[in-house]
Structure 1
Amino acid sequence: MSAPVRCAYAINQWKPNFDDFTRPEQHERALKVIAACGFTGVELRGGTGRWDPLGRPASIAATYGSTKAFLSMLRATGLECVSSWYVDPGEPVDEELSRGRSILDRARHQEIVEALLPFAEFLATAGGDRLVVRALPAAWTLDGGPDAAGIADAAAGWNAVGAAVARTGVRLSLHADCLSAAADEKTLAALLAETDPDVVGLTLDTAELTVAGLDPVHLFDAHHGRVDHLHLKDTRHVDENDERHAPHAEAGMLSGGGARDVERWFYECGTPGGLVDFAALAERLRAHAWSGWAVFESEQTPNPARSAMLNGWFARRLLPEAFAG
């Protein structure tokens, strides 16, 4: 590879928006587990309110006294940086009295730019380089998905955000979760074609794509020139009943398990019965000399520390070059 893959871990499996993950000592304990498992960075998740003190740059500064103090604590645990931050601008934000801003609404694009810039500026200070955003709203909210005009609107918005955050040294990367309208091969290809490759990349999420019925290895090959970030987790399930398009799929399918009462949609990498072909993906990463952050996840885990250890074990075998030092 032209440069080593770097391995980070996602804070989302600690359920950061729950009231049992609000104190600095709980954050420090989680970061120590991530570092002990061999990861060098952590990916944060955008959030809101007093129950999510790691959800926004201003909340981190308020909780720790300053961004510098938080980063000092993080580095003392053995981690090098905040690798990345995932943010969905469509989610409500209490601090901004916002019910969410749709990237499909051109009138809100400048607001989205202004809302996302603080995350990029934080990342630049924290040693990270990827601002990961939800590419499109949930498919069920769009009555069949965006048309060509909608894709053009979204692309215009992301181009504006990408250009703005690029000035901080951070790159914007689009993420297609299993409920997103972007988790469709034609829609995703159209969105990438409309966005500027110089400032907008693609985050490949192995389990989210698999649940949506897509092949992440095939999509990596098809778009490897745009893939600049990885989310690695496993799944044992595909949404065979198309429940991701049902109203309120976030609650009915992902949280409630859907018609099949699926207990967990997402698992640690290499879980027995897992559907993601990680060996094939690693081979394609090497074939294309890919470099960047590989962020491991298992956000529906009942035991975050156990999952971090299992993912750490798997990461060393999947991407030994990332741990060679």
Structure 2
Amino acid sequence: MLPFGVDLITFFHPGFWGMANEDEVVAFGNAQPRPFWDRMLDTLEQSGVTGIEMTFAPFGADGLIAAYGSHEGARAELDRRGLAVASGFFADIAIEGGVGDPQSEARWLAKGEELAKALAGWGADVMVIGLPMRASWDAQPPLFVGLDLAQKAADFANRLGAAVLRHGVRLALHTEAHSMFCQPRDIDLLMLLTDPVYVGFCPDSAHILLSGGDPAAIAARHAERVVIAHWKDATGPMPINIPIDHAIHHAHRAYFCALGDGKVDFGAWAELMATRTSQNWAILEIDAVPDPLTETRKSLEFARTVLERLPPSRVGCPA
């Protein structure tokens, strides 16, 4: 059975830290990395998952190293808790935007390669990225995700993928809702334009559903390129005319729900992941919850139950 990790955005809720808002969480993580990481890793040790996916600061590689003094010290703290780094989410591209800008791309390539070196040193072999957000439907002038823009994004992804692969790390595109890699057509287009040698796929079941797609069907179209996947549930698609601004990620959270409580067909999803993909980890993604221990345990139990229900003759058998 696939081992499960959890994306550290799970710990972004200020209620878990007894703080008033997310800015305070970020400030605490940056100012006091040791108690910040100790609490997260101690909680994860109790949860039953065995891996972590790092994400934006202070939940990233730099924060982990700052907490324990060195790359090796960080690995020792993970090892003694029975945890491993499963993957790293390099969030700068999605947060900053600006694909096609030479200065931004040069900075991302350098930072991405540094992250890949750190991941490889911890035994991880996947780096996930998101692509920039779309503009709102009523933006003037409109921003169309056409062939020219998609080609710029694909060219950059290919170059970043080549850079990190030199360190034994595979790049994977994540299907972030309201980004230029979210609509079913967007996903097919970017998968076509990127080189499969250098660019893999990280389907996120909830984000695909938010964008109106069928998560299992879309992942199946590109199953051979899935190197990691985010297991997440949602109540249904979001309106296509919702404003895409600084609050869009918070707007997503109203649609996310516990695994099994939403509209994702996890029977089809689990069978696809178990029979037609090649990956070392599955990632539970639970956006910013006040009780990460309880929610992670519930999600892990649900995911394992779904996998256990698959017919033994199907598991491990390529379609």
- TM-score class, shorter-chain normalisation, is 0.7 to 0.9
Deviation of 1:293 after TM superposition, in Å, equals: 1.6
Hey, what does 1:65 align to over in structure 2?
Answer: 69
Aligned residue type for 1:11: L
Judge conservation of contact 2:232–2:259 (CA < 8 Å) in 1: yes
- Runs of 4 or more consecutive aligned structure 1 residues displaced over 6 Å after TM superposition: none
Q: Alignment partner of 1:228: what SS?
A: coil
1:55 aligns with one of 51, 54, 60: 60
Aligned to 1:90: 93
SS of equivalent residue, structure 1 residue 137: coil
Residue matched to 1:266 = 256
Q: Does 1:132 align with 2:137?
A: no
Quote the residue 2:212 is aligned against.
213
Aligned match for 1:45, one of 55, 68, 77:
55
Counterparts of 1:118-197 in structure 2, within 5 Å, are 118-140=114-136, 143-197=142-196
What are structure 1's unaligned runs of at least 5 residues? 93-99, 258-262
- Are the structure 2 counterparts of residues 82 and 146 from structure 1 closer, same or farther at C-alpha, using a change threshold of 3 Å? same
Q: C-alpha distance in 1, partners of 2:43/2:304?
A: 16
Q: Percent identity?
A: 26
The TM-score with structure 2 as length reference comes to 0.83
Equivalent residue, structure 2, for 1:306: 294
The alignment partner of 1:231 has SS state of strand
What is the CA deviation profile of residues 108-139 of structure 1, one whole-angstrom value per residue up to 9, with x for unaligned ones? Answer: 33322112111111100111111100034334
Distance 1:65 1:191 in 2: 39
For 1:225 and 1:103, how far apart are their aligned partners in 2?
Answer: 26
1:246-265 pair list within 5 angstroms:
246-248=243-245, 250-251=246-247, 253-256=248-251, 264-265=254-255
CA distance in 2, matches of 1:307, 1:243: 31
CA RMSD of superposed structures (Å):
2.4
Q: Which stretch of structure 1 is more off in the superposition, 26-35 or 156-165?
A: 26-35
Q: Are the structure 2 counterparts of residues 143 and 228 from structure 1 closer, same or farther at C-alpha, using a change threshold of 3 Å? A: farther
Structure 1 pair 155/62, CA: closer, same or farther in 2 (3 Å)?
A: same
Q: Structure 1's 306 and 300: CA in aligned 2 closer, same or farther, altered over 3 A?
A: same
Match for residue 284 of structure 2? 296
TM-score between both structures, scaled by the size of structure 1: 0.82
Separation in 1, partners of 2:111, 2:267? 38
Partner of 1:198: 197
**CA displacement, residues 181-238 of structure 1 (integer Å, 9 cap, x when unaligned):** 2111222211111111011001010011111111111101111111111001111132
AA aligned to 1:292 is N
For this pair of structures, how many residues does the alignment match?
A: 293
Q: 8 Å contact 2:47–2:293 — kept in the other structure?
A: no
What is the match of residue 99 of structure 2?
103
Aligned AA (1:110)? A
Which SS does the other structure have where 1:74 is aligned?
A: helix
